[in-house]
Amino acid sequence: MPTPLSNLRVVDMSRILAGPWASQLLGDYGADIIKIERPGTGDDTRQWGPPWFGTGDNKEAAYFLATNRNKRSVTVDLSMPAGQQLIRDLVSNADVLLENFRVGTLQRYGLGYDALHRLNPQLIYCSISAFGQTSSRAAEPGYDAMIQASAGLMSITGPADDAGVGPQKVGVAIADIMAGMYASTAVLAALNARQMTGAGQYIDVPLYDSQVAWLANQNMNFLVGGRAPVRMGTAHPNLVPYQAFSTADGSLILAVGNDRQFAACAECIGEPELARDPLYARNSDRVTNRDALVRVLQHALAKKTTAHWLEQLEKRSVPAGPINDIGEVLGNDYARERQLVRHVENSAGESVPTVANPVDFSATAVQYTKAPPRLGEHTDEVLREWLGYSDESIAELRASSVI
Query: Catalytic residues, which ones?
Result: 176
Structure letter (DSSP) for residue 112? S
Alpha-carbon span 72 to 29, nearest angstrom? 15
Please give the backbone phi and psi of residue 330, each rounded to the nearest 5 degrees, phi first.
-85, -10
Structure letter (DSSP) for residue 103? T
With contact defined as beta carbons under 8 Å apart, do 11 and 90 qualify? yes
Alpha-carbon span 109 to 91, nearest angstrom? 14
Question: How many residues comprise the chain?
Answer: 403
With contact defined as beta carbons under 8 Å apart, do 301 and 247 qualify? yes
Alpha-carbon span 79 to 82, nearest angstrom? 9
Q: If you write DSSP's letter for every residue of 322-365 in order, what string do you get?
A: E---HHHHHHSHHHHHHT-EEEEE-TTS-EEEEEPPS---SSS-
Alpha-carbon span 87 to 210, nearest angstrom? 28
Q: How many CB atoms lie within 10 A of CB 333?
A: 7
- Amino acid letter at 259? D
What are residue 52's DSSP bridge partners?
Answer: 61
Alpha-carbon span 311 to 306, nearest angstrom? 9
Q: How many CA atoms lie within 13 A of 79 on its CB side?
A: 4
Closest CA to 355 of 72, 144, 68: 68
Alpha-carbon span 325 to 292, nearest angstrom? 30
